[in-house]
Chains A and B, each alone.
Chain A
Amino acid sequence: MQHLTFNDNRVYNISILHYVTAAIVFFFISVLIPFNSLHFIGHYFHPKVLAITHLTTIGWISIIIIGSLYQLVPVITNSKLYSVKLGYISYCLIMLGLFVLTYSFWNFNVGLLIQIASVLVFLGVCFLFFNLYLTINSAKEKSIELDFIGVSLLWFWLTVFLGTLLAFNFRYAFLNKDHLYFLKIHAHVGLLGWFLNLVFGVASKLVPMFLLSGKLNNKIIKLSFYVLNVSLFVFVIDSVFFNGLQRSYFYLSVVIIAVIMFGTYIYQAFKTRLKKQLDVGLLQTLIAFILILIPIVLWCLLKFKTYKSSDVEMQLNIALVYSILLGFFTILIFGQTYKNLSFISWLKIYSNYPTTIKKPMPKDLYSNKLAKTQLSIYLFAFIILLYGILTSTSYIIKFGGVLIICCALLYLANVFKIVFHKPIIYKTIN
């Protein structure tokens, strides 16, 4: 019989802590957007934009991903998480580092404070890497999902390492190329290496499973793994040692091919699904995958078209980054929260209940109505925000930001509803 992992409430608690933290951070991000709408117009290298971007990438997206990994990796590897204690240490270091990092960026304190912050985050990520690497290593069977997750952790480590170098480079300027050059490599590695690999790995496992999909072409997902990672690896080497950033359009075109391969796989999963009725979690997942087209279009506009004014390019850059962070990733996270967090919470409460007792299902732990309202408002808010950024219109960005606050509150309400769910027993079957 396989190893039992679900009785470990400590793993549930650490996962839930990450989900709740991320939801609260997302609420803070949403509050910051309307109050700083002017900063979304202009160059992305602005203290407030850097602060909000790091809050989004670390405090929102990474923290929720880490929370799901603590639950998913032991399940996929059929083993226990190497150390829950190490997970808490990593969480404390990353969150403390993020707090100081945001404060440093906000006030553009690029001295000792930002150095301490980056070292704290770096140490936290080292512990995370060590913890999950040892868990993955204990897997008896290798799988493409684990390859994606393992490699994504390597890219995460590299992203944070580059970030730490950049933090020290503010004061000591030891890097052989200018700061913005390395900042771009840092951003590319984080967005494509860490986030994209993880999305590919986790979604290729969970989406067909949730949908009860038919037979899928696994070769295409394996191929996308190699295409994505080989192109990123060559890009990083070329950029660090040569002038590879100038050839980024080539590398990113190859990455887009990997995205298309992954998209084909997910499309097949949806097309051959047995579950015709999509719940709100899967609906948001599907919408997120469609929204990946927006950054691709924006990137093509940025790379293959020349603009008379550099202002248009600056706005396209900000829109590109935020269409990935607040579009694709955020909606995907919303969807997966309703799938995964409700499962974790349900397992924590009901896993020891006898089968004779009729109990709610994981989908009953959150308000479906609230989730659907949140999705509708968020889609509208996201389009408004993007339009505001592209047209450099502060009051439109502000309006989009206010709508995002409403969504963040609805999301937070549902997260708390799941986490603080009290056991309900309907009646016994016999």
Chain B
Amino acid sequence: MDFYTEGDKKEIAILHSLKEVIDPEVTINIVDMGLIYKITYNSINKSILVTMTLSSKGCPMSDLILTQVKECLNREHPECTTEINLVWEPKWTRDFITPAGRKQLGLT
């Protein structure tokens, strides 16, 4: 997972908006779930590339989550073109869940 500095304002805003997308089974958002690996914003051609994964291949929620990511980005950042790059490496593990996500799951 990438880390963003204060200079990456747009990336942070995109990441924040993706917190709207909830995994209905786990009931926490996909950012805190650790599914978003990287956000690439190109200010010249105004494009967003979200590199993300899913908790497992063949997850029944996969279509829903991907569509909702796209819908969320189109709504929150209508001036940008959006693209999702679904990757399986590195494989998602539960260690990717953020401290906030762990708290929501009642693990801390």
User: A355 and B25: CB pair below 8 A?
Assistant: no
Q: Nearest Cβ in chain B — how far from A336, in angstroms?
A: 12
Specify which chain A residues have a CB less than 8 angstroms from the CB of B27 in the assembled complex: 361
User: B68 and A210: CB pair below 8 A?
Assistant: no
Cα distance A328–B24 when bound, in Å? 28
User: A214 and B94: CB pair below 8 A?
Assistant: yes
User: A143 and B60: CB pair below 8 A?
Assistant: no
User: A72 and B94: CB pair below 8 A?
Assistant: no
Asked if B67 CB lies within 8 Å of chain A CBs, one says yes
Cα distance A78–B107 when bound, in Å? 32
Q: Nearest Cβ in chain B — how far from A140, in angstroms?
A: 11
* Interface of chain A residues 244 through 275 with chain B (CB within 8 A): 274-275
User: B63 and A6: CB pair below 8 A?
Assistant: yes
User: B94 and A276: CB pair below 8 A?
Assistant: no
Asked if A346 CB lies within 8 Å of chain B CBs, one says yes
User: A212 and B63: CB pair below 8 A?
Assistant: no
Asked if B66 CB lies within 8 Å of chain A CBs, one says yes
User: A212 and B94: CB pair below 8 A?
Assistant: yes
Asked if A291 CB lies within 8 Å of chain B CBs, one says no
User: B56 and A209: CB pair below 8 A?
Assistant: yes
* Interface of chain B residues 18 through 36 with chain A (CB within 8 A): 20-22, 24-27
Cα distance A215–B94 when bound, in Å? 9
Asked if A343 CB lies within 8 Å of chain B CBs, one says yes
User: A205 and B66: CB pair below 8 A?
Assistant: no
User: A71 and B60: CB pair below 8 A?
Assistant: yes
Supposing A276-B106, A362-B24, A429-B20 touch, asked if A212 and B55 sit within 8 A by C-beta, the answer is: yes
Cα distance A234–B64 when bound, in Å? 43
Which of A1, A7, A72, A347 has the most chain B CB within a 10 Å cutoff?
A: A1
Asked if A313 CB lies within 8 Å of chain B CBs, one says no
Cα distance A356–B76 when bound, in Å? 10
User: A274 and B63: CB pair below 8 A?
Assistant: no
Nearest to B75 among chain A residues (CB) is A354
Specify which chain A residues have a CB less than 8 angstroms from the CB of B21 in the assembled complex: 355
User: A343 and B60: CB pair below 8 A?
Assistant: yes
Q: Nearest Cβ in chain B — how far from A120, in angstroms?
A: 32
Partner of B64, one of A6, A356, A429: A6
The prevalent SS among residues of B at the interface is loop
Specify which chain A residues have a CB less than 8 angstroms from the CB of B68 in the assembled complex: 355
User: A355 and B62: CB pair below 8 A?
Assistant: no
Supposing A212-B26, A356-B20 touch, asked if A2 and B71 sit within 8 A by C-beta, the answer is: no
Specify which chain A residues have a CB less than 8 angstroms from the CB of B105 in the assembled complex: 274-275
User: A361 and B24: CB pair below 8 A?
Assistant: yes
Cα distance A214–B84 when bound, in Å? 27
Partner of B66, one of A2, A72, A274, A355: A2
User: A205 and B58: CB pair below 8 A?
Assistant: yes
Asked if A413 CB lies within 8 Å of chain B CBs, one says no
User: B22 and A355: CB pair below 8 A?
Assistant: yes
Asked if A4 CB lies within 8 Å of chain B CBs, one says yes
* Interface of chain A residues 319 through 355 with chain B (CB within 8 A): 343, 346-347, 351, 354-355
Partner of B24, one of A78, A215, A277, A346: A346
Asked if B59 CB lies within 8 Å of chain A CBs, one says yes
* Interface of chain A residues 54 through 77 with chain B (CB within 8 A): 71-72, 75-77
Nearest to B95 among chain A residues (CB) is A214
Specify which chain B residues have a CB less than 8 angstroms from the CB of A9 in the assembled complex: none
Asked if B98 CB lies within 8 Å of chain A CBs, one says no
Nearest to A430 among chain B residues (CB) is B20
* Interface of chain B residues 62 through 81 with chain A (CB within 8 A): 62-64, 66-68, 71-72, 75
Nearest to B62 among chain A residues (CB) is A2
Asked if B93 CB lies within 8 Å of chain A CBs, one says yes
* Interface of chain A residues 140 through 157 with chain B (CB within 8 A): 141, 143, 145
Cα distance A77–B67 when bound, in Å? 18
Partner of B86, one of A1, A205, A361, A362: A1
Cα distance A279–B58 when bound, in Å? 22
User: B20 and A4: CB pair below 8 A?
Assistant: no
Asked if B57 CB lies within 8 Å of chain A CBs, one says yes
Selected A-B contacts with CB under 8 Å, 14 pairs: A75-B59, A75-B62, A78-B58, A143-B57, A209-B25, A209-B59, A212-B26, A212-B55, A212-B94, A346-B24, A351-B63, A354-B71, A354-B75, A355-B21
Given contacts A4-B67, A212-B94, A343-B61, 5 further A-B contacts (CB under 8 A): A72-B60, A75-B58, A75-B60, A355-B20, A362-B25
